[in-house]
Chains A and B, each alone.
Chain A
Amino acid sequence: MSGHDHDDHHHHDHDHSELSETQLRVRALETVLTEKGYVDPAALDLLIEIYEKKVGPRNGALVVARAWADPAYRARLLKDATPAIAEVGYAGRQGEHIVALENTPKRHNMVVCTLCSCYPWPVLGLPPVWYKSAPYRSRAVADPRGVLSDFGVTLPKDTEIRIWDSTAEIRYLVLPMRPAGTDGWSEEKLADLVTRDSMIGTGLPKSPKDIAK
C-alpha cells in the first residue's frame, strides 16, 4: 500500500508542475494573440460566461420536460429535433443537427463519442470530464452495462441497449422515460427530475421521492 501511495503522490507533483507550465503558456499565448489583434479579450470573457453560466443541462431538461408534458411537442422532437429544440430557444454550435432518442421499457439509449468529445452543447452545455475520458470512450461501445454500473445504474437483462457513437456532426439527446407519480406536474417541476446523465443515457431521471428529500 505504501508503494502505491508514494506513486500517487509522485504523480500529483508531476501533474502540478505540468499544469503550471500550461498555465503560463496559455497566459503568454493570450497576450501575444491580443497584442497582434487576433483576439479581443472581451470576446473571450463572453464565451466563457456563456458556457459557464447560460448554456447547460437545464436547457435540455426543459426540452425533455416539454416532451413529457406535451404529446404534440414530443412527436415533433422525435421527428426532427433541431427545429423542435429551437422552439424552446436553443440552437447553434455543436447542436446544428440534433436527433432525439426515445427510451422505452424495451430500449435504453446511450450516447458516446469514441473519437473525441462530440456532445450537444446547446442543450447540455460542455461535456463533463468523464464523457471525454478514455474509460468512457473505450468501454461505452463494448461494455455499456459495465459503464452503467460505474454510474450505479442496472437495467433489466433483456433491455436492448442502443449505443450512439457520435462520429459525424449529428448530436444525440436521450429522451428518458417520464417517472411515475408525476401526473399533472408543470414543465418547470418536471424539469427538476431531468438529470444531465439521463439525457446522455448514463443515468435515469430522478423520482418524485428524490426531489422531495
Chain B
Amino acid sequence: MNGAQDLGGTHGHGPVKPEPNEPVFHAEWEKRAFALTLAMGMPGGWNIDMGRFARENRPPAEYLSMSYYQIWFAALEHMIKERGLVSEDEIDAGHSLHTPKPVKRILSPGDVAKTLHRGGPTERDTNTAAIFKPGDKVRAKNINPLTHTRLPRYVRGHVGTIERVVGCHVFPDSNATGAGEDPQWLYTVRFDGRELWGANGDATVKVSVDAWEPYLESA
C-alpha cells in the first residue's frame, strides 16, 4: 500500500537526531508491548508480513504521529481482535470476560531462547530458474497494490542493475494476505542516485533494494 510507511525520498521530516547513550526501551510499557508482540506470534498464528501490514495500514497522519511502539501495539491489538482472541470490552475491563478461543501453542519461558535462535528463515527450495542474472538491466514495475508490498515507491518505474541473485524467498505480497508463501526469486537491485533523484542527485550515491522477481521486468 502507498501508505505513510513508505518514506524513502519524502521531504520535511527534519534532521536525524541521534540520542546519546540511548536506552533499549524508553518506558516500561514499550518493553511489555515489544514482548507481547513477539510472544503472541505463536498463539496468534500470523506471519511477519501480516504483522508489517497491520502496522502500516492506518491513516498517514496517524502513522506519522505515533511512536514506534505505539504502532506495534496498535497492530497487535488489531491482529488479536481480528482473530477473535480478545475483544474490545475485555481490554476496557482489563480482564478476560469470554471463554478463551483455543490456540495451538503458546511461548513458554523454556522455549524463548530456542525460538529466537531458530528465527524465521525465509529462503525456500525451488525448481524454477531465476530469470535475471547479475549485470542485467531491470526496471522496477509501476505497481500500486492496496495490499502489502515491499517495493518502495521511490524505485518504481526506474531502471537498475541486478547486483546479486539472493535466492528464492517467501513473497511478502502474497504471504501478508494469507494467500500463502508463494516463494519467488529475490534480487539485490542497484540504482544510480541520479536515476532515482534526477540530475541534481548526488552522482556518488548508489542505492539498492532487495526486490522479488514479480516486481521486475527487463529493461
Residues of A near any B CB (own CB < 8 A):
18-19, 22-23, 25-33, 35-40, 42-48, 50-52, 56, 91-97, 114-117, 125-126, 128-130, 132-145, 147, 150-151, 157-170, 197, 202
Contacts and interface: CB of A to CB of B under 8 A. Distances in A.
Contacts of B197: 142
B136 interface: no
A64 to B, nearest CB: 20
Interface string B1-34: 0000111111101111111001011111101111
Cβ-closest 5 pairs across A and B: A114-B8, A168-B210, A44-B35, A35-B96, A28-B94
Contact of A38 (B19, B106, B109): B106
B29 A27 contact: yes
Contacts, number: 265
A48 B37 CA distance: 11
Given A19-B27, A40-B106, A161-B206, A115 B150 contact: yes
Given A22-B33, A40-B107, 20 more contacts: A29-B86, A33-B80, A33-B85, A36-B86, A38-B43, A42-B109, A44-B32, A52-B24, A92-B116, A115-B6, A130-B18, A141-B196, A143-B202, A160-B205, A161-B206, A162-B207, A168-B166, A169-B169, A169-B170, A170-B210
A141 B210 contact: no
Contact of B204 (A42, A95, A96, A161): A161
A141 B109 contact: no
Interface of B: 5-11, 13-19, 22, 24-29, 31-36, 38-40, 43, 48, 52, 55-56, 64, 68, 70, 73, 76-77, 80, 85-86, 90-96, 100, 103, 106-109, 111-113, 115-123, 150-152, 154, 166-167, 169-170, 172, 186, 188, 196-197, 201-202, 204-212
B207 A95 contact: no
B204 A158 contact: yes
Contact of B94 (A32, A56, A129): A32
Contact of A138 (B13, B76, B109, B188): B13
B31 A52 contact: yes
A94 B112 contact: no
B106 A52 contact: no
Contacts of B122: 96-97, 168-169
